[in-house]
Structure 1
Amino acid sequence: MSKEVAVSQKLQTNSKRKMAIAKRLIYLNMSVYLLMSIGELIVGHFSHAMVLVADGKNNVTGVMSSILLLVGLHFSSLPRDTMHQEGHWQYETIAVFLTGIIMDLVGLNCLWSAGRSIAAIIIGRASQIRIIAAYAAAISGTLMLVISHINHLIGVRAHDSSLIASARDSLSDALTSYGTMLAILLAYWLRINWFDGLSTFILGLYIIINGNQILSTSAEKLSNGFNPKLQSQIWHFIDQFDDVIHTDYVNGRFTGDNIIIEAEIMVDNRLTTADSYRLCKAIEGEIQTHLPVLYCCIQVRPNALESKK
């Protein structure tokens, strides 16, 4: 078994191990999000707090995204077949993309609710917010902080970027809930009914912005986009080898969170086939040491072709 294949298999094994850990945490996250969203939606309607209802809808997106990620992780862990030689890693990215779409739709719904709330105030049909809504938002924020801390600790230990990103999302949701609590308290203490609608509108915009960021990142991966900074980093790894005269091109793309690289290098035409092969393997090993590369395809071009032009 060659070193390149062993490294690739190690990467796939590590990816599947991370998926197993992620699945367990997703079940935990989904349970907490479900309880919080139900509680906030019920209390929000009962206490006439539209911003709490909007926060509950935001947590509903957490439930939906958890379900989508579970489905995506299930298909991503399937072994390679004749139709998917590189594996099924893209299913996870598709699940994230769909999550972004759901967040945008929920954000638009919050904007619509905010507009209706402000319209009700204008025509004199507004209801006074009840203080219980602030307690519900505070409990939601505290639970989200706990979830964020758990995801971050396990994500760092497992070196799983998706769990670390999930921890940041949970922290963002916690801050959103605390912001909701402050908005409710201000509207309650100062008797400013329109502040509830304004806070709902701001929260809707916040959900849409986050959804668009998720859409942009996942769409970039699905459309074979590749970060130029990451491309330059790979270029640097290749150019540091003395036998490489020139790097003609470096192309990269993602399959899930794993990277596939294609490159062409110019070498001395006196280099034997065996030496060229060892050089390619050394380059592959160097890149795979620093990045989650599934495999590299490096083409060798002798510099003698240049002199014939």
Structure 2
Amino acid sequence: MSSKIERYSQEKRTAFVVVFAFCVMLAEIIVGLFSHSMALFADGVHMGSHVLVIGLNWAAYVLVRRLESKGTTRYDTEKILNLSAFTSGILLILTAIFIIVEAVERLTTHGEILNYELALITAGIGLIANTISASVLHGHHGTTDYNSHAAYLHVLSDALTEIGAIIGLFCAMLWDITWIDSAVAVVSALVVLRWAKRLLWDTGRSLTKL
């Protein structure tokens, strides 16, 4: 019974983070495009991966709850959650590749960053948003399974990329070193790739267990 209660609590926290992350994603992508900040745009895309990853996480909890309410034993509910996390890892790899391609294109075009102040404010808001999301997902008793733990680690990694985006913007604004902004975007993508690799490895081993 306690396991079901924990899952339901995690489901509610996850639903909140999905809606919250979606709002922040729109703000960062729009401001990133208008300010020509590749790092901020990349972080917005990465935040979009939150919506997909944590959205899958939330959907898995909903499915598991409904299956358990019907009393069916045909499905392994733990594997349903792990499969959701595994799928999230694949989506993150695709997101990271997209960010790297966009960053390289930005480097070759030598574009300028516009409206540093607005970009920095939005990046700061993103950092605060990820801190809030991490706190909500972790809750008072920590994460309860692979899915919730994966989502928690994902939000933490994005908070680190927010810090990198802020550093890149400051360097471009103070010393006109605009390539750092794109370099930070690549570093952000590498963080995503590392997280995705770990997620795929852990959940893959769990799914292959009999």
TM-score normalized with structure 2 length: 0.89
Higher helix share: 2
Q: Deviation of residue 212 (structure 1)?
A: 1.2
Report if the CA contact (8 A) 1:44-1:50 is conserved: yes
2-structure distance, mates of 1:88, 1:151: 20
What is aligned with 2:158? 173
Deviations 1:133-154 (A, max 9, x none): 1110011101221222233343
Cα contact 1:155–1:161 (8 A) shared by 2: no
Q: Are positions 1:160 and 2:144 aligned together?
A: yes
Contact 1:135 1:181 in 2 (8 A): no
Specify the alignment match of 1:138 in structure 2: 124
1:223 aligned onto 2:200: no
TM-score (norm 1): 0.62
Instruction: Report 1:1-309 matches (<5 A).
Output: 13-77=1-65, 78-79=67-68, 81=72, 83-84=74-75, 87-121=76-110, 126-131=111-116, 132-156=118-142, 160-161=144-145, 163=148, 166-224=151-209
Q: 1:64, 1:99 within 8 Å by CA — same for their partners in 2? A: yes
CA shift for structure 1 position 76: 2.3
- CA distance in 2 between counterparts of 1:105 and 1:143 reads 23
* One-letter amino acid matched to 1:32: F
Tell me the CA shift for residue 82 of structure 1. 6.1
Letter in 2 for 1:128: I
Instruction: Deviation per CA, 1:29-69: give whole Å up to 9, x if none.
Output: 11121111110000000000011111011111110012211
Larger Rg over CA atoms: 1
Output the CA distance in 2 between the equivalents of 1:129 and 1:161: 43
Contact 2:85 2:150 in 1 (8 A): no
| Structure 2 unmatched ranges of 5 or more | none
Distance in 2 (CA, whole Å) between partners of 1:128 and 1:62 is 25
Amino acid at match of 2:50: G
SS at match of 1:127: coil
Q: How far apart, in 2, do the equivalents of 1:91 and 1:161 lie?
A: 11
* TM-aligned CA deviation for residue 113 of structure 1: 0.4
Per chain length, whose mean CA-contact separation is higher, i.e. which structure has more relative contact order (CA < 8 Å, sep 6+)? Answer: 2
Give the Cα separation in 1 of the matches to 2:52 and 2:162. Answer: 18
Distance 2:19 2:203 in 1: 25
Shift of 1:207: 1.0
Point out the structure with the larger strand share. 1
The CA distance in 1 between the partners of 2:58 and 2:153, in whole Å, is 19
Give the whole-Å Cα distance in 2 for the aligned partners of 1:114 and 1:143.
24
